[in-house]
């Protein structure tokens, strides 16, 4: 889709470039602007100009100078420790011993579960606290075997063990769910020993099946513990109910596999993982830090040209086959090769400048097999944090890909370039629901930007906001002149709200698309169109800027771009989105396209390694468990 209409720049370019800042994800107060409407159109006269000669202000210790609002941090992940399951409440009460009692031997064949649990008196089984609690609650109310029949593991148990053994195909660790399976009954084992062995197998399998089902549905780590940049609601799981279901069905495999996300993306990542595991390591390895400009030479160039020639399609072969055949062994980056490299770059979504750098190398040579496997496993874990059914229609923003898509009925109806938060102002990872579109919006300046970026200037020039097209309101919503505020009296806690009026240079451009969230993140237009030409687009304060905001607005409102253009002619207004459209502000360094082909992206925020650390911490806790 193409954005319609051209706007005249009515302000200095420097001012417009500075105003298009987006929103800082750390702020929880940037949505107050939704509450305002109307107002006078005003053209700012420049943003953050150098302050005039310094005024005498209070020392920093008195007025909070130097105080900043910090972004979320990443935590060292600490997994919940396992607890020993306390079987005491399941054990039968001691009874006076008689000669007849002494001769009685519990028999699993007769399903005497109450007698068999005596074999748990000294059993050390460790499990997650909620699973340990669920085991006791379930077997107290349902004193019977699930996994044992006729003195042996039953077919239900055999199916469960097989599923647990296939955990690696989902990117999980089979050792986390391993259970010692009793051998076939033999004359060497006494009836008492056999009974003890089977009842312990019963409890261990139930504990590991519950762990598997939980991990499949919700993931192995709690993402919200990792950082404030992750924000996912809990996924309730009835552990006792799961055991009840398993006790009354022969479709154990079906049940356990249904706990995994049921979407095409999860399946595509599983297929990719299987293919990677079976594949050979890359036989052509190119220096990932290669930087080569036309006219320069490198022994790495023939490797790249070999990879290009190997993957030529009819169009590329027709255009560049002869050049590659003739110069494919050249270590000199000849002028004739520049169009080839540009075409390859453009196909990979880059701007096609002809300079061979790390991104070009990565697109051609790819990551190592080990790196790809890690990215896919990370992606599978992250998908388990999200709804099993992603919904249709939906908006999907993948931050490492710098793209935003509108997907409906399995078809990507719109895909546009996006700008996300800088490394110092990272965009959060969460999902929500599209609520409304604001035309010619106000920009509610987050407290973090007021404190970190505006306040130092306001201390020397308190009237700056009045001149620059901003409105200041107090805690009661009363508008007051910026010049009337003693900004030097405040530190991180400023009892005022600031918003920028609609204008050609408004930081949000001509529209914004809202999905209210505590991170104050939304999609919006921007005056800084040049950012979309860059390959690395982590450049905002945290909000998501769209190259085609009109196209996205038309998609979520179920209308046309012409209709959006018409609405924009009438100044500030708001329109609610009447359909249920989930939006995923996601972070996947491995993600399948609509055809199922998995693409790989740079980990711009370094989050994959932090997730791997959390998974390692979880493994460390589980390893000593029995």
CA angle 174, 177, 179 (to 5 degrees): 110
At residue 93 the predicted structure's pLDDT band, cuts being 50, 70 and 90, is low
Q: Which of 385, 378, 163, 156 is nearest to 256 (CA)?
A: 163
Instruction: Tell me the backbone φ, ψ of residue 408, rounded to 5 degrees.
Output: -140, 125
Q: What is the CA radius of gyration of the chain?
A: 31
Long-range contacts (CB closer than 8 Å, 24 or more residues apart) made by 162-165: 162/253, 163/212, 163/252, 163/253, 163/256, 163/257, 164/208, 164/209, 164/212
Alpha helices in 6-48 (DSSP H): 13-19
Its pTM stands at 0.79
How far, in Å, CA of 439 to CA of 184, rounded? 72
CB 319 within 8 A of CB 343: yes
Tokens 């699993």 found at? 108
625 pLDDT above the threshold of 90: no
How far, in Å, CA of 474 to CA of 478, rounded? 5
How far, in Å, CA of 48 to CA of 468, rounded? 9
**Residues with Cβ within 8 Å of residue 28, at least 6 apart in sequence:** 518, 519, 520
pLDDT digits (tens, 9 = 90+) for 122-173: 999 999 999 999 999 999 999 999 999 998 999 999 999 999 999 999 999 9
Tokens 């390959």 found at? 535
409 pLDDT above the threshold of 80: yes
Q: Which of 27-36, 107-116, 467-476, 556-565 has the highest mean pLDDT?
A: 556-565
Q: Which of 363, 191, 404, 365 is nearest to 284 (CA)?
A: 365
pLDDT digits (tens, 9 = 90+) for 261-271: 999 999 999 99
In DSSP terms, 420 is beta-bridged to 538
How far, in Å, CA of 593 to CA of 412, rounded? 9
At residue 105 the predicted structure's pLDDT band, cuts being 50, 70 and 90, is very low
Neighbours of 580 (CB within 10 A): 11
Neighbours of 419 (CB within 10 A): 25
CB 69 within 8 A of CB 451: yes
* 183: DSSP letter: P
596 torsion bin: left (phi>0), alpha (psi -120 to 50), beta (else): left
pLDDT digits (tens, 9 = 90+) for 334-379: 999 999 999 988 888 787 899 999 888 888 877 788 899 999 999 9
């Amino acid at each position: 889709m193409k954005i319609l209409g051209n706007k005249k720049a009515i302000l200095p370019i420097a001012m417009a470039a500075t105003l298009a800042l987006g929103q800082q994800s750390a702020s929880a107060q940037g949505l107050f602007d939704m509450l305002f409407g109307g107002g006078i159109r005003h053209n700012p006269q420049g943003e953050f100009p150098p302050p005039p000669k310094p005024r005498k202000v209070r020392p920093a210790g008195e007025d909070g100078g130097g105080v900043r609002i910090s972004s979320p941090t990443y935590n060292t992940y600490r997994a919940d420790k396992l607890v020993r399951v306390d079987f005491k409440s399941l054990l039968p009460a001691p009874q006076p011993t008689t000669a007849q009692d002494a001769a009685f031997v519990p028999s699993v064949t007769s399903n005497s579960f109450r007698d068999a649990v005596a074999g748990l008196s000294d059993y050390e089984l460790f499990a997650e606290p909620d699973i340990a609690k669920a085991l006791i609650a379930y077997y107290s109310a349902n004193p019977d075997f699930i996994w044992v029949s006729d003195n042996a593991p039953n077919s239900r148990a055999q199916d469960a063990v097989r599923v647990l053994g296939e955990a690696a195909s989902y990117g999980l660790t089979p050792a986390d769910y391993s259970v010692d399976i009793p051998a076939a009954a033999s004359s060497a084992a006494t009836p008492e020993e056999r009974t003890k062995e089977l009842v312990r197998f019963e409890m261990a399998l139930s504990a590991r099946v519950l762990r598997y089902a939980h991990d499949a549905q919700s993931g192995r780590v709690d993402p919200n513990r990792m950082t404030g940049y992750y924000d996912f609601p809990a996924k309730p799981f009835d552990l006792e109910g799961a055991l009840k279901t398993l006790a009354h069905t022969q479709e154990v495999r079906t049940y356990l596999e249904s706990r995994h996300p049921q979407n095409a993306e999860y399946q595509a990542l599983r297929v990719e993982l299987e293919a990677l595991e079976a594949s050979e390591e890359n036989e052509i390895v190119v220096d990932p830090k290669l930087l080569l400009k036309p006219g320069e030479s490198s022994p790495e160039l023939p490797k790249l040209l070999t990879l290009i020639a190997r993957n030529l399609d009819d169009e590329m072969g027709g255009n560049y086959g002869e050049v590659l055949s003739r110069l494919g062994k050249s270590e000199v980056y000849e002028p004739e090769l520049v169009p080839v490299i540009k075409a390859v770059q453009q196909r990979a979504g880059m701007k096609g400048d002809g300079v061979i750098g790390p991104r070009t190398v990565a697109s051609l040579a790819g990551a190592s097999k080990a790196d790809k496997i890690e990215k896919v496993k990370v992606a599978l874990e992250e998908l388990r944090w999200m709804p099993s059914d992603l919904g249709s229609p939906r908006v999907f923003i993948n931050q490492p890909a710098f793209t935003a898509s509108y997907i409906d009925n399995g078809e990507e109806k719109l895909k546009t370039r996006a700008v996300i938060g800088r490394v110092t102002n990272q965009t959060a990872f969460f999902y929500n629901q599209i609520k409304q579109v604001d035309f010619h919006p106000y920009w509610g300046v987050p407290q973090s930007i007021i404190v970190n970026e505006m306040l130092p200037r306001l201390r020397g020039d308190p009237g700056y906001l009045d001149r620059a097209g901003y409105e200041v309101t107090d805690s009661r919503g009363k508008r007051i002149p910026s010049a009337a505020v003693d900004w030097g009296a405040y530190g991180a806690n400023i009892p005022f709200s600031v918003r920028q009026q609609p204008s050609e240079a408004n930081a949000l451009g001509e529209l914004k698309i809202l999905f209210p969230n505590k991170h104050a993140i939304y999609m919006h237009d921007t005056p800084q169109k040049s950012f979309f030409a860059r390959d690395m687009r982590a450049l905002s304060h945290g909000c998501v800027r769209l190259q085609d905001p009109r196209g996205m607005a038309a998609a979520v409102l179920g209308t046309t771009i012409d209709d959006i253009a018409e609405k924009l002619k009438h100044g500030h207004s708001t329109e609610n989105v009447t359909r249920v459209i989930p939006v995923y502000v996601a972070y996947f360094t491995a993600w399948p396209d609509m055809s199922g082909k998995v693409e790989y992206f740079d980990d711009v925020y370094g989050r994959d390694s932090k997730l791997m650390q959390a998974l390692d911490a979880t493994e460390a806790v589980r390893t000593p468990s029995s």
